[in-house]
Amino acid sequence: MVLIYILGGVLALLLATGLTPLVKKFAIKVGAVDVPNARKVHTRIMPRMGGLAIYAAFVLTLLGFMLVAPDTLFGSARSASLVKSLLAGGTIIVLIGALDDRFELSAKVKLVGQILAACVVVFGFGLKVDFINVPFGDQYVNFDAWIAIPVTIFWIVGVTNAINLIDGLDGLAAGVSGISIATLLVMAVIMGNPAVILLCSILLGCVIGFLFFNFHPARIFMGDSGSLFLGFSLAVISLLGFKQVAIVSFITPLLIIGVPLSDTFFAIVRRALQKKPIFAPDKGHLHHCLRELGFSHRQTVLIIYGIAAFFGTLAVVQSIAASHDATWVTFVVICVLLVSLQLGAEVIGIVSKTKRPMLNMIHRIRVKVNANSRSE
């Protein structure tokens, strides 16, 4: 079985590597290009729509395995629904993204498309969050249909847009998505879910193959066709985590995509404090703030990769702890997460350049300690 997973990843990588130059030519031919402006860091016109290469490599590899080894993907009814919903909903998402890459659709049109894709997952294939388990103890919360359906749609649309929002530097969204997919892969191994292991292996191979052309200095952007597809795929695949009551608590899926979700959360808080519309674009995202601190383009991307890996590690630790009923580890993970988020936000200045309560408190403590030591 391990060889099948490796083969899936390698095949997807080779396909993505071969298809990306073709998609680049196609994007230029149809006029799907990204023009520099005040909010963007690139200084020349770049082809986008690179997500088509990721999607095509994923679908071609997946169809190959559906023909050769269907039992691996369709070992259970739920696995079959997962695969089919990814193909159906993912196709809608990619079409919406590709049209936006070419014609720059309005936010409302894109949102309608995302909700439609989410509805396909929920109503067409029955995938939804029926319950979540509470980190401390064996208790879990059941959701009635009238709660489960909107929660699931909100989750899918939210994660899809979160990945889209961080797509601001060469290789950033692809790399962070790749780290999240790798985390999901580890989680699938822990849960012993062959279908998810294969899906993650294939998707990770697609991302790595595309990164050869997208890492700084990029030769093509993934565009909304790529960021929306990767976000949608992460959202749908991570839904499986909610079903593993004995292993995964509700905090784990949030950790898996911690970077895009936290960046989105801080953007909402920042705009609320500045009394700006929530969806108003700005240059206050994580990658913008790191660039303002003096880090180079590549250094900024690598730092965010490290943050994503940190979140992924916490997710794996949390899942292992939950499987062994080690609730104290969950408590430690939550504390580390909250402190890290607050300190990181204040150091980077992602919410405010002046309001830094935790750093100010640490500074006052250090001043007091130094004063006491001198008096002695």
d(CA 233, CA 207): 12
How big is the CA angle at 26 (ends 25 and 29), to the nearest 5 degrees? 85
Question: 111 burial class (0-12, 13-18, 19+ CB within 10 angstroms)?
Answer: middle
Which residue from 78, 28, 68 is spatially nearest to 48, judged by alpha carbons?
28
End-to-end CA distance of the chain: 67
Q: Are residues 50 and 214 in contact, defined by beta-carbon separation less than 8 angstroms?
A: yes
Q: Residue 168: what are its φ and ψ, rounded to 5°?
A: -125, -10
Tokens 């200045």 -> residue: 349
d(CA 48, CA 244): 38
Q: Are residues 97 and 230 in contact, defined by beta-carbon separation less than 8 angstroms?
A: no
Strand partners, 131: 142
Sign (positive/negative) of CA torsion 297, 303, 308, 309?
positive
d(CA 130, CA 294): 46
Report whether 164 belongs to an annotated binding site.
yes
Binding residues for Mg(2+): 164, 224
Binding residues: 164, 224
